[in-house]
Amino acid sequence: MFKDATIDEINGSIELAWKAFHDYRKLSLKHRAAFMKAIAVEIDALGTSLIETAMKETNLPEARLMGERARTIFQLNSYADACEKADWLEARIDTAIPTKTPPKPDLRKMLVPLGPVVVFGASNFPFAYSTAGGDTACAFAAGCPVIVKAHPAHAQTSELVAGAILKAAEKCNMPKGIFTHIHSSGFEGGRALVTHTHVRAVGFTGSFIGGKALFDAANQRKEPIPVFSEMGSVNPVFLMPEKLKESAADIAKMYAGSITLSTGQFCTNPGLIIAVDGNDLNIFIDKLGEEIKNIAPGTMLHPGIAKLYNEKRISALAQKDVETVSVSSVAPKENQGTPTIATVHAHVFLDNPVLHQEIFGPYSLVIKCKDANEMLEVAKHLEGQLTSTLMATVNDVRENDELVEAVKNICGRFILNGVPTGVEVCLSMHHGGPFPATTDSRYSSVGADGIKRFARPVSFQNWANELLPDELKNENPLHIWRTVNNELTKDVIK
């Protein structure tokens, strides 16, 4: 539908972004925040046409898309507030002690923007993790121009949002090149973006293969750059014995909803459920199976995702000693994903890497363990995850110290008695996790802390007050929180 950008056009856009960087980074935090808020206004002004376009392109229902648009607007506004508040800058000041031997210099540190950021939007979040999504908002807050590669599964939606960003840029007098929107099918364009010398960071959400390929390309550059790829996660759920005895059927009902939410197309979808085999687990499995049978298949985001889901699902169910417990009683139509539950014994799971892979869609595998030791064994063999969940009583947690530690060790968000789907946008959220969930477990792609991904620290040593950035001046003209001589304060330095 849209013409692919040529390599020359891609290079031209990056040159423009590089020029824009030198102007944009000098703008005040207030000005950056005003730009982000203007984008939110322009997205809102797109009204129903945006929702209708996204519905056609993604097969997602209206209510979900309305909610996601509201979330995107909230992200832009709240990250704009955070940008201005400047906590993310981590301003640190240690004043000079000339009488010390040797004399201690005046040192003042803050984060500064990295440079142009390339964003690969997610297919499963056409607004919130796409063109004007979390990565773009964080990069703008940090002081970086953005080049978005539109996801081909919602190119028209992406085009509309890009138009809103460009309108806001014009209204706020942003430098030309602050934002570029590129269509490119095939991997050549994506690679050209990531390997261009003026690109200084990448945000990606999607498959492991795609995220890792771009990470590797960036690391092979003459000057490697950070790539924040959010890739797969199976989000294991550990059902602990006392909790399972108390409420097996209720948990099953809650999990049937979480596994099939948005046809399972969430990075936080619970793909593995681990428990000790026995009567209580059987009650859980029976109830979960009953619920899943009654949930109709949904049309997936694009034919490629539906094809992958069906192939991976069929392959998993065909593995030795995997038992299919339940599939939806409604036959799937073209490009639909069938809700499916299977079981396997832990010793089989531990020996078969195919069963550890993410199956992106409404699928979950229940792992039956002999005892708590085998649950621990499973936890120790799982790869890095965005989330892990414990369904547990206080006694369960207290009596299974080692298991709790092992589960915490593999994830970025550790949930007690809930479901992993649903990611709150706030400062205390961590949406990231050890590899292969992401390429850098230290950073979150949700919440204003995500701004830090696109900035780096610089220490200013012995600089005259008048030459320092406002954030570090003695008089604290921005009235921001700073750590001065090891005390958090907004005070002026006398």
Q: Which residues bind ligand NAP (CB under 6 A)?
A: 120, 122-124, 149, 151-152, 185-187, 190-191, 205-207, 210, 213-214, 230-233, 267, 305, 308, 358, 360
Rounded to the nearest whole angstrom, what is the least distance from the CB of residue 123 to ligand NAP in the complex? 3
| Biggest CA pair distance of the chain | 81
Q: Please say which residue, 152 or 447, places its beta carbon nearer to ligand NAP.
A: 152
Rounded to the nearest whole angstrom, what is the least distance from the CB of residue 358 to ligand NAP in the complex? 6
Verify whether residue 267 is a known catalytic residue: yes
Of the residues 42, 230, 358, 471, only one is catalytic, namely: 230
How far apart (Å, rounded) are the C-alpha atoms in residues 108 and 104?
A: 12
Q: Please say which residue, 191 or 370, places its beta carbon nearer to ligand NAP.
A: 191
How far apart (Å, rounded) are the C-alpha atoms in residues 61 and 56?
A: 9
Identify residue 468 by its one-letter amino acid code.
L
Rounded to the nearest whole angstrom, what is the least distance from the CB of residue 302 to ligand NAP in the complex? 7
How far apart (Å, rounded) are the C-alpha atoms in residues 145 and 16?
A: 10
* Token pair for 131: 């063109």
Helix, coil or strand: residue 155: helix
Rounded to the nearest whole angstrom, what is the least distance from the CB of residue 384 to ligand NAP in the complex? 12
- Parallel, antiparallel or unpaired: strands 107-113 and 455-461: antiparallel
How far apart (Å, rounded) are the C-alpha atoms in residues 237 and 419?
A: 9
- Parallel, antiparallel or unpaired: strands 201-205 and 227-230: parallel
Contact 224, 195 (CB under 8 A): no
Rounded to the nearest whole angstrom, what is the least distance from the CB of residue 412 to ligand NAP in the complex? 13
Rounded to the nearest whole angstrom, what is the least distance from the CB of residue 125 to ligand NAP in the complex? 8
- Is the Cα torsion angle 474, 477, 479, 482 positive or negative in sign? negative
Q: Please say which residue, 206 or 226, places its beta carbon nearer to ligand NAP.
A: 206
Enumerate long-range contacts of 477-485, CB under 8 Å, 24 or more apart: 478/29, 478/86, 480/85, 480/86, 480/87, 480/89, 480/91, 481/85, 481/86, 481/87, 481/91, 482/91, 482/92, 482/93, 483/90, 483/91, 483/92, 483/93, 484/93, 484/94, 484/95, 485/93, 485/94, 485/95
Contact 218, 205 (CB under 8 A): no
Q: Please say which residue, 11 or 474, places its beta carbon nearer to ligand NAP.
A: 11
Of the residues 83, 138, 267, 411, only one is catalytic, namely: 267
For 387, list phi and psi in degrees, rounded to 5: -135, 155
- Is the Cα torsion angle 57, 58, 61, 66 positive or negative in sign? negative
Q: Please say which residue, 55 or 308, places its beta carbon nearer to ligand NAP.
A: 308
Rounded to the nearest whole angstrom, what is the least distance from the CB of residue 275 to ligand NAP in the complex? 24
Verify whether residue 411 is a known catalytic residue: no
Identify residue 191 by its one-letter amino acid code.
R
Catalytic site positions: 230, 267
